[in-house]
């Protein structure tokens, strides 16, 4: 979609992007890469039945990871402060 200029920006894991570009036969130097580090991350879902199911599944998984201590472990492992600001 970037190549077709249907979108201007895309957020994804850099390694996934580079892998996909290689698979498509595209050169990374044709795109601008910028890393953004933010405390406020949002996951977007389409506003339809499928999107709602995905959002509900995501929320349930996040709650499970939080209750099980996995989120806390990952935050500590990566030096992420979980205190609300």
User: Are residues 53 and 26 located together in one domain of the fold?
Assistant: no
> Domain check: are 82 and 50 in the same one?
yes
Classify residue 41: in a domain, yes or no: no
More confident residue, 85 or 80: 80
**Structural domain total, the chain:** 2
**Residue 24: pLDDT over 70:** yes
Residue 83 predicted with pLDDT over 70: no
Please indicate, yes or no, whether the overall pTM of this predicted structure exceeds 0.85: no
Structural domain including 57 reads 46-85
| In a shared domain, residues 25 and 55 | no
Q: Tell me: do 20 and 54 sit in the same domain.
A: no
Q: What is the 3-state secondary structure (H, E, C) of the chain?
A: CCCCCCCCCCCCCHHHHHHHHHHHCCCHHHCCCCCCCCCCCCCCCCCCHHHHHHHHHHHHHHHHHHHCCHHHHHHHHCCCCCCCC
pLDDT tens across 64-82, in order? 998 999 888 888 887 776 6
Task: For residues 22 and 57, state if they share a domain.
Answer: no
């Amino acid at each position: 979609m970037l190549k077709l200029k249907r979108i201007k920006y895309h957020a994804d894991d850099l390694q996934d992007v580079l892998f996909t570009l290689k698979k498509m036969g595209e050169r990374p130097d044709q795109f601008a890469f910028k890393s953004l580090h933010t405390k406020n991350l949002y996951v977007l879902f389409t506003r339809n039945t499928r999107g709602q199911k995905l959002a509900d599944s995501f929320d349930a998984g996040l709650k499970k990871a939080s209750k099980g201590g996995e989120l806390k472990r990952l935050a500590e492992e990566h030096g992420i402060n979980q205190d609300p600001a």
